[in-house]
Structure 1
Amino acid sequence: MAEIRIHHLHKRFSDFVAVRDSTLTLEDGKFVVLLGPSGCGKTTTLRMLAGLEFPTSGSITLAGQDVTYLRPRERDIAMVFQLFALYPHLGVRGNLEFPLRNEGLPRAEIDRRVADVAAILRIEHLLGARVGGLSGGDRQRVALGRAIVRQPQAFLMDEPLGTLDAEFRELMCVELRKLHARLATTTVFVTHDQNEAMALADHIVVMDRGEILQSDTPGGIYNAPSCMFVARFIGRPPMNFLPVAGAVRAGDVAVSLAGVRVAVPCTQADAAGAVLGVRPEHVCMGAQGGGLAAEVRHVEYFGSHWIAELATAAGTLKAVVHKSQRPVPGERVAVAFDTARVVLFDAATEQLLPSADKRQHHEGPCHGQH
């Protein structure tokens, strides 16, 4: 079992704390994405898993073995970098063979593994080519192949799609998911791109300022973000936030937005102040009448749908509207929300307020604390 555990992992560079007291369990065979903005600590965490950096404190175990202070060559992992890190003086076959020759494997075993990996990645026709003339997508396939051919206990990937154009990135996301389904090897993938994270991950670990903010399935992260930062970072457009008038009490099933009562899932905690969060696709526009009065300020067309920016007495929000129902700037409408999809945050802490809706208590097998 290639389960990875990090326990109270902490990394300080002089006066800067890159990773702050992180605890996380990554289950065997899962595709886990570390997601967050630049400087959030995700790459430093990955480098500590790889042995390229040692923690200031805390521990890392791989398949039950303490690897905290082992060098990279002493850990049964393979790493794929953003800039391919291929050997330019070697051809495609030479790059794939290189780690196996270092292990001293017999020629027959090297040939078998290289042939298997080339078939998996569909690069058999490139085995005789030099890497310098390959496209970005093909180079990344070779880089992946060099990692896969080792048959490690875990793959660590540091933004491996970052240099590819949009079309290649989408293609490689699909290929990586197929590859993971076939190999079922524990994979830790770093990215700042939420689309990559949502497309690839079994579990997403959202980080900011060195801390793990939430670790959950993509659905759990999207539907019940642990805090307002996660809600802003996941989703395009991001979640709408509207300030609630007055305090919120446990047992409340409605809140006030600019004098309009809005139904919410039954609240299970008190808060002196709260913020209502709702995704744009869960905002419903209708004729004037019941609901929160709004004016359409701006409209964007995306082919399959419109994004309407709405001004209300409670604040500005965005709504996703079907392509057949074009909103008109200046139009006055009434806004309602999908009650089951509304969440509340504590205005002071920006943390999610628990509710009776079980979606907000979803926990997957990959848990993180800080």
Structure 2
Amino acid sequence: MAEILIERLHKRFGDFVAVHDSSLRLEDGKFVVLLGPSGCGKTTTLRMLAGLEYPSSGSITLDGQDVTYLRPRERDIAMVFQLFALYPHLGVRGNLEFPLRNEGLPRAEIDSRVRDVGAILRIEHLLASRIGSLSGGDRQRVALGRAIVRQPKAFLMDEPLGTLDAEFRELMCVELRKLHDRLRTTTVFVTHDQNEAMALADQIVVMHEGCILQCDDPAGIYHFPNCLFVAGFIGRPPMNTLRVEGAVQPGAESVLLAGSAVPVPRVEATAATALLGVRPEHVRLANPSGTTLAGEVVQVEYFGSHWIAELSTAAGSLKAMVDKALRPRPGERVGIEFERARVLLFDASSGQRLASATTRAHDEGRRHGQR
């Protein structure tokens, strides 16, 4: 196991900046997911950790050793690629043995490690098989096994579930998490899929346009996004945002939406223009005569366990998650209430989250947990 420390990491390809002055501490034994849309810099960051790309500036430390400009084989890491990169002529056992033979390990040690990995991944019955005869899921297990068998300080995984179908991808998320809980090896996993990130990660690093926007545990990323991009990127449906009327001042405990006063956690910041953010599951439908904000149901989607209702209001459109037993009807007039403790405010100009009593408690608790 090993802590990975990234300091002011910068990567430029000609005039294009792929990673912009990123600093990050990846804790020993944690499962860390680099999450973001295509082109955000997550794979480039992973390739610099692996030694497949060298940074333009900055440093990378692995277990206290500066590995910034070391070649891949000089770093005690193992990498799993999206396309598996298996040797088809070697078979399953040959692929698992290959890195160990390159290290010059004795035959008995090689056999012992291969048996252990086969048991961990439940592929003992495939050791004599050819790669070409395996399903995509079994090939992925062999690719993981070839990384695990080396017993490295860290695993680096570049969208290893990307080629699998949705059902098997969910199954492999569970298996990967179980595997990590058993091995406790520092793991850095790249994906653009928020479901994978939420299911796997101890720590999620959200990236956009080469910058790290937020690093937190899954609950923190979901409930306390640092900015509008994270709020919109995480969650399906994403967080609702509604424009606030007038400026927001410290000490305020309500804001105006289309002339209606909406309760919010006590504000501890100032913004000339602001947006109110609230997740669909924290929006409640009520009798329109008993609420300050009302709207009309525009569309309803059924998801088995709940409904998603699209609502039109004077403050803008938003979505609400509604219990399956309470089907809203298009055209129905409804009152709208927000779960006050879950409401966030964002500066409309910068996109950054405004401090409030709720968010301060979260941020202070997170800092305390990192000390």
Counterpart-to-counterpart distance in 2, 1:33 and 1:41: 13
Structure 1 position 365, deviation (Å): 8.5
Which aligned pairs between 1:143-182 and structure 2 lie closer than 5 A?
143-182=143-182
Counterpart-to-counterpart distance in 2, 1:29 and 1:59: 21
Which aligned pairs between 1:63-78 and structure 2 lie closer than 5 A?
63-78=63-78
Amino acid at match of 2:306: H
Cα pair distance change 1:365/1:30, threshold 3 Å: farther
Residue equivalent to 2:262: 262
Residue equivalent to 2:50: 50
1:213-249 Cα shifts (integer Å, max 9, x gaps): 0000001111110000000000000000000000000
Q: Which has the higher contact order (CA 8 A, sep 6+)?
A: 1
Counterpart-to-counterpart distance in 2, 1:262 and 1:283: 12
Structure 1 position 287, deviation (Å): 1.4
Which aligned pairs between 1:104-115 and structure 2 lie closer than 5 A?
104-115=104-115
Which aligned pairs between 1:1-370 and structure 2 lie closer than 5 A?
2-289=2-289, 290-357=291-358, 358-363=361-366
Structure 1 position 366, deviation (Å): 9.7
Structure 1 position 63, deviation (Å): 0.2
Amino acid at match of 2:351: E
Structure 1 position 363, deviation (Å): 2.6
Amino acid at match of 2:159: E
Cα pair distance change 1:365/1:45, threshold 3 Å: farther
Counterpart-to-counterpart distance in 2, 1:363 and 1:59: 25
Counterpart-to-counterpart distance in 1, 2:367 and 2:161: 26
3-state secondary structure, aligned to 1:182:
helix
Structure 1 position 359, deviation (Å): 2.7
TM-score normalised by L of structure 1 = 0.98
Amino acid at match of 1:78: A
Cα pair distance change 1:61/1:153, threshold 3 Å: same
Counterpart-to-counterpart distance in 1, 2:143 and 2:239: 37
| Identity, % of aligned positions | 75
Counterpart-to-counterpart distance in 1, 2:288 and 2:246: 26
Q: CA RMSD in A?
A: 1.1
Cα pair distance change 1:271/1:224, threshold 3 Å: same
Cα pair distance change 1:71/1:65, threshold 3 Å: same
Is contact 1:202-1:218 (8 Å) kept? yes
1:84-121 Cα shifts (integer Å, max 9, x gaps): 00001110000000000000000000000000000000
Structure 1 position 294, deviation (Å): 0.5
Counterpart-to-counterpart distance in 2, 1:363 and 1:234: 19
Unaligned runs of 5+ in 1: none
Is contact 1:24-1:366 (8 Å) kept? no
3-state secondary structure, aligned to 1:363:
helix
Amino acid at match of 1:299: V
Structure 1 position 133, deviation (Å): 1.2
Is contact 1:216-1:364 (8 Å) kept? no
Q: Which runs of 4+ in 1 moved over 4 A?
A: 364-367
Moved more, 351-360 or 163-172: 351-360
